[in-house]
Amino acid sequence: MTIKTIILAAGQGTRMHSAKPKVLHKVADKALLHHVYNTSSQLADNSVVIIYGHGGELVKQQLSALTAEWVEQKQQLGTGHAVQQAEAFIDDDDKVLILYGDVPLLKKTTIEHLLQNVSQKSIGLLTVVLDNPTGYGRIVRTADGSVVKIVEEKDTNAEEKLITEGNTGIIAAPGNLLKQWLSKLENGNAQNEFYLTDIIEMAVNDGVQVKTNQADSVDEVLGVNDRSQLAHLERVYQLEQANQLMTAGVTLADPARIDVRGQFEKLGQDIDVDINVIFEGINSIGNDVKIGANSILKNATIGDGVEILANCIIEDAVVGDNSRIGPFARLRPLAKLANNVHIGNFVEIKKSTVAEGSKINHLSYIGDAIVGSKVNIGAGTITCNYDGVNKFTTEIGDGAFIGSDSQLIAPVKVGAGATIGAGSTITKDTPDSQLTLSRAKQLTIKSWQKPVKK
């Protein structure tokens, strides 16, 4: 059997109080629906159908990269009605898996255990035991433990309300049987909706056993209905990421104060991460790296022995071995630092290469530049790379010394071993090993008198 995953993502999510469809709200900077899709796409021989409704065009637009069949549920008439919209994509010999676009933390292993229950004689149902099952349909069983039916909470009687085993809505069934049961759904209930849960009683009546599974944790099957639940699942997810990092050998100053919103291509040994660090995109981090508090790394490649001090932002950039960054430094896209480079406080590097042993330690902007080795760039230096229309390159030769508060007007080349006097505006190429400066003559006006307030 192949697997056909149907993800129900048509709900409005009124309790979110948002103009944005619920499934586009994010955990770890990724849409809830995207999490569900990613988990299901890990299954072998699987194809995905997404049922969209409220705000559907926006959902399709923002998640257009997902490989799936998109089917609109024009009227939201219940979960059974939603699955009916996908019938054209269900083959008789499929294992049909029904998931929900607002349940982001469900694990692949849980799904695989559920799918093992599917045959022509049995279907799989994921349930959850809760101290307070309010809001959940109740699993009704016989004395021997066999599942009889599911009763939605609004239809429960007093005895059924006491049942603590709830329905997650996550079901796996053979395609041929599921289509038969879908065709028999009726909406004679308190909500006037077509409940998917009614197929459980139909299966029992047809002599098909309902086999149940439970996830390892309640959080795995929780959906998002309001901002509080969204925040809760964010912290659950982040604690999982923190535990994975620590298992891999990373030292975290506080596992509760770290956010991982992507993945790691490489994690070296003896990495120390201070509080409130955010990892986004795909990062690669070498051995013996220290990352200071409040720093953000996005698609960064960090070499061995690097120290990143507090409050740095490194995005789409490369930092060579034994370099030192920060505090309050920003490496923008296409910044590439060689080994033993020092980038200090309030320094911004953009689309520039900095060769080995160079230092840019204070209050400088280096953009569209090629900086040689063992260059020292003084405080307040700016490469003026933009004329309002086009951008130009500044080249600084090996061993050059750029005095503080200098402006290098690109395109321009500073020679190897050259010295630029502090406060200079350089508009022409400068020779190797020579001092170049441009300053107005310093004057002292002897007749000047300081104004006196009248």
In angstroms, how far is CA 433 from the centroid of its own chain? 49
Considering the domain 227-436, what is its CATH architecture? 3 Solenoid (2.160)
3-state secondary structure at position 418 = coil
Distance CA 109, CA 140 (A): 26
pLDDT in tens, the chain (454 residues): 699 999 999 987 889 999 899 999 999 999 999 999 999 999 999 999 999 987 778 999 999 999 999 999 988 899 999 999 999 999 999 999 999 999 999 999 999 999 999 999 999 999 999 999 988 999 999 999 999 999 988 889 999 999 999 999 999 999 999 999 999 999 887 788 898 989 999 999 999 999 999 999 999 999 999 999 999 999 999 999 999 999 999 999 999 999 999 999 999 999 999 999 999 999 999 999 999 999 999 999 999 999 999 999 999 999 999 999 999 999 999 999 999 999 999 999 999 999 999 999 999 999 999 999 999 999 999 999 999 999 999 999 999 999 999 999 999 999 999 999 999 999 999 999 999 999 888 899 999 999 998 8
Distance CA 270, CA 331 (A): 23
Q: What is the pLDDT of residue 56?
A: 77
Do the beta carbons of residue 277 and residue 258 sit within 8 Å? yes
Instruction: Write down the domain spans for the chain.
Output: 3-221, 227-436
Q: What is the pLDDT of residue 43?
A: 95
CB burial of 434-454 (b: ≥16 within 10 Å; e: otherwise) equals: eebeeeeeeeeeeeeeeeeee
> Whole-model pTM?
0.91
Degrees to nearest 5, angle at CA 206 with 205 and 207: 90
Is 362 one of the catalytic residues? yes
Q: What is the pLDDT of residue 371?
A: 98
Which residue is associated with the tokens 């639940």?
229
Q: Count of CB atoms within 10 A of residue 387's CB? A: 10
Among residues 310, 308, 336, which one has the least CA distance to residue 323?
Answer: 308
| Homologous superfamily, domain 3-221 | Spore Coat Polysaccharide Biosynthesis Protein SpsA; Chain A (3.90.550.10)
Q: Count of CB atoms within 10 A of residue 304's CB? A: 17
Q: What is the pLDDT of residue 190?
A: 76
3-class SS shares of the chain: helix, strand, coil, % to 5:
20, 35, 50
- Which token pair is 108? 């692949």
Sign of CA dihedral 334, 384, 437, 439: negative
Distance CA 315, CA 141 (A): 55
Distance CA 126, CA 170 (A): 5
Q: What is the pLDDT of residue 189?
A: 79
Distance CA 57, CA 51 (A): 12
- Which token pair is 374? 């063992």
Distance CA 125, CA 172 (A): 7
3-state secondary structure at position 283 = strand
